[in-house]
Chain A
């Protein structure tokens, strides 16, 4: 069931609302929050791909993208 597998997502949040309010809405929409990075306005957490569309609709959410690996250059 591809839509049900939990993955890590990076949520970019604007500063139009207090980030705590956006985080509350993200949690309610099914994001299992792991980090809230206030300086950069980023929330990371796990959710199933099915939930991601709900996350994108929350006020203040600019973007939801999958986490990806990085390496030393």
Chain B
């Protein structure tokens, strides 16, 4: 038998209440800043067999409005239907989630747990959870990071993790940076403006503190990236030289001046008009490198993009775009989409860590290739890193290397910069319709 929890009156609910959606919790944590791994709510674990007593204690001893999963048919909890409940008990597992407000105001601290007759076994912060990736390196990094987080909570942040060989293995640089010969390069992109036209950027990302940002939105949403794609691609092109902790280097132009043009919404979509506005802005700001991990499949070269590309070259700017992910090789090779298929724009295909063409990489008009499979880079807080694939990931490898080349000489701009990238690319035993001149290389 189930009954719906009804709201009695309208008590003011904080952002950290039981019925909050994950997005609400995430936005609230990001706005607060600081430790964004925790939602602000608490998890109460009851002692063995003490769930009923625990639920009673929450009501009587702590005065909370308590709901139970048993209030829903077959315990199919619907969080948004918990009304004004301040705690939600899961009787089958003996755990309750308590709202942030309630945990604070009713002084639910570990001190209460001391008494042997107290049904509460432990009170812990609720952490955000995310889908994990298949990449084993990333999983290992995740384990290390989780361990660090827990130890910091236990007040042992100073203690060194005793896994030296793992640290050595995990540190270093991504396979993509190594394949492009980035780590041995003496260049870092100082003085070079790189525009990333994408879903924005997580401007509060801890590994970009102190970096120079110029930003603009073209989609009616704040520049702050709630998607992840823009943070990831900007990370590859412009990320830090030595990210803190056992985190490998994933970024190329670590001293570039970063221009973030949000031309894609947080849902990852946009319009040609918006993209053109972003290109116009980047050219007006004389960005030597303009990186566009976006496009439209099955659309022929657009005169507007071709002219924008030409104007860019004339102004000393080089536009670099992803060829697209529409192939299903070997059965089907899709043609490069727009804007990459414009002759005045550099089109980038994707290779994997064995330098084979990625099965999704669109072909035909492809000028150069970059690492695009299982690419580790930055991601919005609290996750801060992620490993994803796409010609979108290959593109900022070319853009980052282009920034390093641009730094070597002020003559390497526009067409000259493009020619240099093509001339110095590492030849691959693959057709130019897959990889163009080959794998981009750093100076």
Cβ of B236 < 8 Å from any Cβ of A?
no
Given contacts A63-B303, A63-B304, contact A70 B271 (CB under 8 A): yes
CA distance A10 to B275 in the complex (A): 11
Name the A residues within 8 Å of B263 (CB-CB). 70
Q: Quick one: which of B267-318 are within 8 Å of A by CB?
A: 268-277, 279-280, 283-284, 293-296, 299, 302-304, 307-308, 311-312, 315
B271:A71 contact, CB within 8 angstroms = no
B275:A62 contact, CB within 8 angstroms = no
Q: Give 1 or 0 for each of A41-73: 1 = CB within 8 Å of chain B CB.
A: 110100000000000000000110101111111
B269:A40 contact, CB within 8 angstroms = no
CA distance A19 to B170 in the complex (A): 55
Name the A residues within 8 Å of B312 (CB-CB). 40
A70:B296 contact, CB within 8 angstroms = yes
CA distance A27 to B75 in the complex (A): 62
A40:B325 contact, CB within 8 angstroms = no
Q: State the majority secondary structure of interface residues on A.
A: strand
Name the A residues within 8 Å of B390 (CB-CB). 73
Cβ of A8 < 8 Å from any Cβ of B?
yes
Q: Give 1 or 0 for each of B202-232: 1 = CB within 8 Å of chain A CB.
A: 0000000000000000000000000101000
B280:A71 contact, CB within 8 angstroms = no
Name the A residues within 8 Å of B284 (CB-CB). 38-39
Name the A residues within 8 Å of B275 (CB-CB). 70
A35:B273 contact, CB within 8 angstroms = yes
A70:B303 contact, CB within 8 angstroms = no
A72:B198 contact, CB within 8 angstroms = yes
Partner of A39, one of B274, B280, B303: B280
B269:A42 contact, CB within 8 angstroms = no
Q: Give 1 or 0 for each of A11-54: 1 = CB within 8 Å of chain B CB.
A: 01000000000000000000000110111111010000000000
B268:A41 contact, CB within 8 angstroms = no
A40:B264 contact, CB within 8 angstroms = no
Name the A residues within 8 Å of B248 (CB-CB). none
A67:B324 contact, CB within 8 angstroms = no
B199:A72 contact, CB within 8 angstroms = yes
A24–chain B nearest beta-carbon distance, Å: 20
Cβ of B256 < 8 Å from any Cβ of A?
no
A39:B311 contact, CB within 8 angstroms = yes
CA distance A56 to B322 in the complex (A): 30
Measured CB to CB, the nearest residue on chain A to B307 is: A12
Cβ of B392 < 8 Å from any Cβ of A?
yes
Q: Sample 15 A-B pairs with CB under 8 A, ordered by A number.
A: A10-B272, A34-B273, A35-B273, A37-B279, A39-B315, A40-B280, A70-B271, A70-B296, A71-B296, A72-B268, A72-B294, A73-B294, A73-B324, A73-B325, A73-B390
Residues of B within 8 A of A (CB): 198-199, 227, 229, 263-264, 268-277, 279-280, 283-284, 293-296, 299, 302-304, 307-308, 311-312, 315, 322-325, 337, 390-392, 395
Complex A-B, nearest 10 residue pairs according to Cβ-Cβ distance, in ascending order? A63-B303, A37-B280, A73-B322, A40-B308, A72-B268, A73-B392, A44-B273, A39-B283, A72-B229, A12-B303
Residues of A within 8 A of B (CB): 8, 10, 12, 34-35, 37-42, 44, 62-63, 65, 67-73
